[in-house]
Chains A and B, each alone.
Chain A
Amino acid sequence: MTWFAIVAASAVCFGLKLAGHLVPEHWLAQPRVARTAALVTVALLSALVAVQALTTGREVVVDARLPALAVAAVALVLRAPFVVVVVLAALTAAGLRALGMP
């Protein structure tokens, strides 16, 4: 089932890229279309932040992930590169869990 999803999702992603190379330019030039696509990206990524950081199964849970996310946000404000942001979050959560936080 996972393999099916991988191949299908990859085909969808490639189809979208190829479509972009084939459609007439003016189809996508409407500001509303471009803006909506940008907002969908923002909404999906933001929802994924919330779900990854604050849910376990179907419950909303606060644990070591939340302070780790706060550390990541500070790192982003300080313009740290992607890898540094991710590693700092992992270290924070790992450290807090070693100290007994769930």
Chain B
Amino acid sequence: MRAVARRDDETRAAVRQAVSVSVATGLYGVSFGALSVAAGLDLAQTMALSLLMFSGGSQFAFIGVVGAGGPGAAIATAGLLGVRNGLYGPQVAPLLGAHGWRRPLAAHLTIDESTAVATAHRAGPAARAGFWWTGAGVFVLWNAFTLVGALLGDALGDPRRYGLDAAAAAAFLALVWPRLGGATGRLARLVAGAAVVVALALTPVVPPGVPVLSAAAVAILVGMLVRPGPDDVAPDDEEARASGGGS
């Protein structure tokens, strides 16, 4: 009996964590909604991104690139930023044991936050509750707040007057920030610096959208060529994920 009670406690703790992560993450859906409208997308397009793409980093990148860079660059950039969600699958799939229609549903809800909460608990009911409650909670609130942000952004008018262009840059900085910290971030900081230099150097000479993709190419080169060291990037650094940097 006592073991059962402890398991219930742990499940309740996972659900509580899921709720607080969902509220925190959902709230910045407001900034996505407002920035998306400021970038020239309409309300339906903005909502489609939050409902169908449902991955903060990819969504911010998409609206940042699609205007100037065109559809090809936007698809490529959003897709590349979505690769890490693919790497979360093998971590959470064994915890969930989902089959049938639950499997694509679980896949759609596999983001930074749901993975972080699920893997923070022991395999079993707590991990499962953590994943589903976080995934569903972030999905509902992220979309609700995207709608609020898009309606607000529509009412505001000229985005530059309200500094929304600077807010977009700050959003990307906040998304990358947790990945640069500590001793494990040494190689990450190096790559980040190189990415900035490459993107700015190429901006005047190549079509829009290409500078950002070129920075990704630099990262792939470094990742494949540099011998992994003990204090290099921890790819799924707990802190990076738990802090909610980019759903």
Contact = CB atoms under 8 A, between A and B. Distances in A.
Same complex origin of A and B = yes
Interface of A: 1-10, 12-14, 16-23, 25, 27-29, 31-55, 57-60, 64-65, 68-69, 72-73, 76, 81-83, 85-95, 97
Given A48-B61, A87-B167, A93-B166, A39 B173 contact: no
Given A21-B110, A52-B169, A34 B87 contact: yes
A8 B74 CA distance: 10
Chain B: number of interface residues, binned into ranges? 35 or more
Contact of A72 (B80, B173, B180): B173
The DSSP consensus for interface residues of chain A is helix
Contact of B191 (A22, A43, A69, A89): A43
B74 A9 contact: yes
Interface in B154-177: 160-177
Nearest to A23: B90
A13 B79 contact: yes
B86 interface: yes
B194 interface: yes
B195 A50 contact: yes
Contacts of B53: 6, 9-10, 13-14
Nearest to B218: A43
Contacts of A17: 82, 85-86, 88-89, 107-108, 110
A9 B192 contact: no
B163 A91 contact: yes
29 contacts: A5-B62, A6-B45, A7-B48, A16-B86, A17-B89, A17-B107, A18-B104, A25-B93, A32-B228, A34-B87, A35-B235, A36-B224, A37-B83, A37-B84, A37-B223, A43-B216, A44-B77, A45-B176, A46-B199, A48-B212, A51-B199, A51-B200, A58-B208, A68-B170, A83-B28, A89-B166, A90-B164, A93-B166, A97-B161
B134 to A, nearest CB: 15
A20 B173 contact: no
Contacts of A4: 71
Given A6-B48, A47-B195, A40 B216 contact: yes
B123 interface: no
Interface string B133-164: 00000000000000000000000000011111
B52 A7 contact: yes
Contacts of B64: 48, 51-52
A102 B83 CA distance: 37
B89 A43 contact: no
Contact of B83 (A40, A52, A55, A64): A40
B196 interface: yes
A60 B196 CA distance: 12
B170 A10 contact: no
Closest 6 CB pairs of A and B: A20-B89, A36-B223, A93-B163, A89-B170, A5-B71, A93-B166
Contact of A94 (B52, B161, B171, B246): B161
Interface in B114-141: none
B85 A13 contact: yes
B203 A38 contact: no
Contacts of A97: 160-161, 163
